[in-house]
Structure 1
Amino acid sequence: KSRAIKTSPEAEFLTHPSMSETQKQSRKNSSDSNPWKSLGSPTLLWSPTSGLPLQDGLYTDARFPVQNMPIQTDVVWKRPKEICPFPQFIADGATRMDICQGELSDCWFLSAVASLSLNPSLLNLVVPSGQGFQQGYNGCFNFRFWQYGEWIDVRVDDRLPTRNGQLIYLRSSNKDEFWSALLEKAYAKLKGGYNALNMGFPHEAMADMTGGVTEEFMVPPDHRKLGSFLRPLLQKGALINCANSKGSFEKSNELGILFRHAYSVTGLETIKTTVGSVELVRIRNPWGKAEWEGPWSDKKGIEWNMVSAEEQRRVQRIQQEDGEFWMSLADFCQNFETMEVCHLSQDTLSESGIIKPWKCTSHHGQWIPQQGPPQYSLTLLEEDDDPSDPELTCSFLLALMQKCARQRGILFPVALHIYKARSERDASQLSLVLSTTKDLGYVQRRELVFRGRLAPGHYIIIPSTSEANQVGEFLLRPMSPRLAGLPPVNEAKDLFVKHCVKGPYCSPLDLYNLLTEAIAKGVFAGCEKKLSLEHCKSFVVLMDSQGMGRLDLTEFQALWEKLRKWTGIFMTFDKNKNQALDYLEIPAALTAAGIRVDEFILQLIGLRYTEPDMTVSFPGFLFLLMKLDCMMRKRAHKSKSN
């Protein structure tokens, strides 16, 4: 059943599920036991007032884990001001050219950084601005990484390992620039030291620096599908890495592509030539050297002679040994085997324009012995905008990440099961519609990612382990190209508990704060500004069966079900997706809600409920339907009494 569902071009590729916090190290205040000393660093001095070790009045990170590093007597730890006379944190902007690999085998991390540099807003989140070596410099630099649903700060000093005055690990092509080297040090601290960065997978680094969800794809042999696969991903702001694992580690094939080495996909362009147009993909090697030597290469690519200088400037082609190169889609398919695609959510990708990130919600859960498996609702409301899809289906991604697996040293084999439910509140009769076990079995990975399409409706997600009574925590993240207008009832209950702090009742002000948060996190973000306290007072009065001016949980849930039903109607009839219904769209929307009005009532609605431009906002539509629903219920009650 799962493979019978029609998939998007992205899903036509074979998919596989994707695969720590800082280890705090105590340290004796003795030069003999000082681990820095064996690495060529001067002895630390402890500040009696702050408890922080100081060196020449500058911050020194005594918690950076160096015990696992190999002892190298020729390595000296130096600050940037000891390496060059005029160091800069970022020089002329942070770009993919600032990443050149050193002696560590951490191309998996560097390729993710190169991809990250293509998104300035996201890079600024990981590498906060306002840091440098001029005014206010104190030897301390801060970075941010995503860990299990939240962003954490990692602080490091600026001492970096050098040999003969040169950085031995990550460096920039500009010898006066140090943001990338310090970012690598901060990530090493997060993972347990520089040595912990030897060997890995790009998806782990991409998740830690974006909070995104990563899928792994096999590159198809037919290049004709590759362009339509890559373009929408890049438009959504996805980070893409590629590799070829068919040969020995970091040995190259006859055309210069390294085996078992991570590259970044940084662009896709249709380039005009004297004989027509050709589609090329731009690749970045984090080594900063060792480029592709086939057609369209910098060294031997005579094909560039057919491209005008103006066109080459447009695509920012630079003919030098910098690790960046172009290649045709056909050559890409022949020289790379796998791709890791990190899908970004709206929370981390704030670019406007053509960028269309996936929408994401997060559920923190745990497996507890002697208890049933945890269950989470998934509501799919609006079909994809895919004219080639004859079925009315909704795309989604599910990502199940095991927490702190590295610290535990245990990775459970896990799976995801999706059941069809009658409604959000009725899970008494469930029917299995999808399961990752059908094609993948139980997967022993840090993060299991599953892509699918289902008809609009209500579903239950059950994350499970292969054996019963396992103990562990996880993060479940459903992602979709579209968000529901309002969260499902179970999430609304969490908002009820969060905002109704004075007791198990919801006041108009509580409802206003609750709805404001819910709308701001949904597809109608921005419409919360049109929500008023008067709206919420009416909602409470119209649903309050006890005349107390407040709603208990049962009344609140009944209200929420109405609001979600009407939200779905609003989404259906908002044809131009401008978060408002035009006056002429109102009759059909009311009919869909089971309410028929004549022309006179419609004119009254136009006078009372529309904005100056004769549209009805999302909160205004909910308010209108609540009023009409209440009038109809009163009329029905009166008719029954008579």
Structure 2
Amino acid sequence: QDMHTIGFAVYEIPHEFKGSQSVHLKKDFFLRHSSCARSENFINLREVSARLRLPPGEYLIVPSTFEPSKEADFVLRVFTEKQCETKDMDDGVVFNLEEEQEITESDIDDSFRSMFAQLSGDDMEISVRELRTILNRVVSKHRDLQTDGFSMESCRSMVSLMDKDGSARLGLLEFQIIWNKIRKWLAIFREFDLDRSGCMNSYEMRLALENGGFKLNNKLYQMLIARYADNEIIDFDNFTCCLIRLEAMFRIFQGLDRDCTGTVEINTVEWLFVTMCG
């Protein structure tokens, strides 16, 4: 198999980002700034190198494939005449979640009550299987979305996120909250599906997650893409599953981090609860 065609470009770091490591430069930066140096050409060799002379300063080196959306790992080596420091530029992990909605039965309108009664049956609660049927019926009506439907596992995660009484079912209030979340996530998905393909690539996914309150580092993004992408694209049900999982894990962490130090210490039982039930 032929090697990818690779090369690199060098950009001067703007004044506002100098000295800052916890920043991820997005597409807009590269559209507005031209490179100050680059490899002589992009070529399908194992190694591409160049000797450059640049004024003292801070620079960003971006190795890439010539063709877009090609997956590749790079080893970047920099040799300088004078001692210098090199670091990855990457976002810190930050989550800005909205406070959990305080909803009472008086906040729920009659049409939603009627819909819930029809969907939940005589027990007036929605099981995992019933939730899957409801969600798949809803997304099938949105023909602009690419989706192969919600799995039982993803619906279990939703129920686990909202199930406060341990019944493994959703009551009226719990279903209203998860319904509001799905509508919000659908709006985010559509807003950041920039090419209107009905699915997301990894770049669109990163923007969407940030809008949803999750700023992650590169390693975490790569793990999420590997977990939730199919042929390098993320459809709506996988996008929703990813957000559900992220929100559940962050909220569990917040509950364990009682002193808001950013670190937690847990015992075996708590660890099993988080990993098996979170």
* Alignment match, 2:124: 504
* Alignment match, 1:515: 135
Long gaps (5+) in structure 2: 1-102, 261-278
1:621 and 2:218 are equivalent in the alignment? no
Residues 569 and 589 of structure 1 are in contact (CA less than 8 Å); yes or no, is this contact kept in structure 2? yes
> Residue 191 of structure 2 aligns to which amino acid in structure 1?
T
Structure 1 residues 608, 571: closer, same or farther in 2, change over 3 A?
same
- Using the alignment, how far apart are the partners of 2:110 and 2:195 within structure 1? 30
Q: Which residue, 189, 193, 198 being the options, matches 1:579? A: 198
Structure 1 residues 600, 548: closer, same or farther in 2, change over 3 A?
same
Residues 508 and 536 of structure 1 are in contact (CA less than 8 Å); yes or no, is this contact kept in structure 2? yes
* 1:505-546 CA-partner distances (Å, limit 9, x unpaired): 11001101111111122354663x332122111111111011
Residues 139 and 149 of structure 2 are in contact (CA less than 8 Å); yes or no, is this contact kept in structure 1? no
Post-superposition shift, 1:584? 1.4
SS in 1 for 2:195: coil
> Residue 617 of structure 1 aligns to which amino acid in structure 2?
D
- Using the alignment, how far apart are the partners of 1:589 and 1:580 within structure 2? 12
1:591 and 2:210 are equivalent in the alignment? yes
Structure 1 residues 634, 572: closer, same or farther in 2, change over 3 A?
same
- Using the alignment, how far apart are the partners of 2:184 and 2:207 within structure 1? 15
SS in 1 for 2:216: coil
* Alignment match, 1:530: 149
Residues 126 and 170 of structure 2 are in contact (CA less than 8 Å); yes or no, is this contact kept in structure 1? yes
Structure 1 residues 573, 552: closer, same or farther in 2, change over 3 A?
same
Determine which structure has greater relative contact order: mean sequence separation of CA pairs < 8 Å that are 6+ residues apart, divided by chain length: 2
Post-superposition shift, 1:499? 2.1
1:607 and 2:232 are equivalent in the alignment? no
* Alignment match, 1:633: 251
* 1:255-287 CA-partner distances (Å, limit 9, x unpaired): xxxxxxxxxxxxxxxxxxxxxxxxxxxxxxxxx
Runs of 4+ with deviation above 4 angstroms: 488-494, 523-526
* 1:453-509 CA-partner distances (Å, limit 9, x unpaired): xxxxxxxxxxxxxxxxxxxxxxxxxxxxxxxxxxx9876544422221131111001
Structure 1 residues 524, 499: closer, same or farther in 2, change over 3 A?
farther
SS in 2 for 1:496: helix
Structure 1 residues 496, 641: closer, same or farther in 2, change over 3 A?
farther
* 1:359-379 CA-partner distances (Å, limit 9, x unpaired): xxxxxxxxxxxxxxxxxxxxx
Structure 1 residues 608, 491: closer, same or farther in 2, change over 3 A?
farther
Long gaps (5+) in structure 1: 1-424, 429-487
Structure 1 residues 491, 606: closer, same or farther in 2, change over 3 A?
farther
Structure 1 residues 490, 620: closer, same or farther in 2, change over 3 A?
farther
- Using the alignment, how far apart are the partners of 2:109 and 2:207 within structure 1? 26
> Residue 621 of structure 1 aligns to which amino acid in structure 2?
F
Q: TM-score, normalised on structure 2?
A: 0.51
Post-superposition shift, 1:641? 5.5
- Using the alignment, how far apart are the partners of 1:519 and 1:490 within structure 2? 23
- Using the alignment, how far apart are the partners of 1:525 and 1:557 within structure 2? 23
SS in 2 for 1:530: coil
> Residue 218 of structure 2 aligns to which amino acid in structure 1?
E
- Using the alignment, how far apart are the partners of 1:604 and 1:540 within structure 2? 24
* Alignment match, 2:61: none
- Using the alignment, how far apart are the partners of 1:540 and 1:489 within structure 2? 22
SS in 1 for 2:206: helix
* Alignment match, 1:61: none
- Using the alignment, how far apart are the partners of 1:490 and 1:615 within structure 2? 39
Structure 1 residues 606, 526: closer, same or farther in 2, change over 3 A?
closer
Q: What aligned pairs does 1:251-400 form with structure 2 within 5 A after superposition?
A: none
Residues 145 and 199 of structure 2 are in contact (CA less than 8 Å); yes or no, is this contact kept in structure 1? no
Structure of larger gyration radius = 1
Identity, % of aligned positions: 28
| Aligned Cα root-mean-square deviation (Å) | 2.7
